[in-house]
Amino acid sequence: MKQVPRLIVFDWDGTLMDSEARIVGSMRAAGGDLGLAALDDGTLRNVIGLGLREAIEILYPDVGAETQRAFADRYRHYFLAADGAVSLFFDGALEMLRGLHRQGMLLGVATGKSRRGLNRALAEHDCGELFHATRCADETFSKPHPQMLLEIMEVLGVAPAETLMIGDTEYDLLMAQNAGVASVGVSYGVHERERLLQHRPLACVADIPELTAWLRRYSMP
């Protein structure tokens, strides 16, 4: 008999929020401000999902701490303040979350965003009440370390066997594996389906409607 989850933890960018282009553009602009080597879209996309510090270390491994801090400051400027744009949920994502919430499911977020960035996004969309616990990369270890998931489960009193992690990158699925938690990959985000399947998710879905339908079936006793 399958274990019906009590807690579903979502990644944010690329899983619920369609923010890939904004993240890539902000990283490119930050690097340009500092005169760093221009990187292609694929390289920049690959680090989405990691904490900002870890992403910078991969993108520019030879720069010093001062340049890393300056890059982080410029990235936040462009992402949080420069254009005033609001990132949008993928079509159907907010309705899916509201349905799970009405169903009585515990919902969480484990994200590479900063706390400031996540709080801003929750406020922009007036959806903070949907989530029972959230963790950000600047509060604890970055993915794929399991600490974000472990802390969410501890706060909510839920065991790994009762938890499901949903994300669009291998960092999400590896975090789930490291925490002893089942996972679902979504291939409409950053990492392609074949890369996600290497980490043995329960399923890999192509869009929000398919994810919603899968969750409806999986959450039934």
44 three-class SS? helix
Catalytic residues: 11, 13
167 three-class SS? strand
- β-bridge partners, 10: 109, 166
Torsion angle defined by CA atoms of residues 162, 184, 182 and 150, in that order, rounded to the nearest 10 degrees: -80
Q: In angstroms, rounded to a whole number, what is the distance separating the alpha carbons of residues 194 and 101?
A: 31
Contact assessment for residue 147 and residue 140, using Cβ atoms and an 8 Å cutoff: yes
Q: In angstroms, rounded to a whole number, what is the distance separating the alpha carbons of residues 86 and 130?
A: 19
Contact assessment for residue 15 and residue 5, using Cβ atoms and an 8 Å cutoff: no
Dihedral sign, CA of 179, 184, 188, 194? positive
**The two three-digit tokens of residue 168, written as one number:** 């669009």
| E strand residue ranges, the chain | 7-10, 17-18, 88-89, 106-111, 133-136, 163-167, 182-186, 203-205
Residue 218's identity, in one-letter code, is: Y
Angle separating helix axes 65-76 and 52-59, nearest 10 degrees: 120
Name the DSSP letter for residue 201.
Answer: -
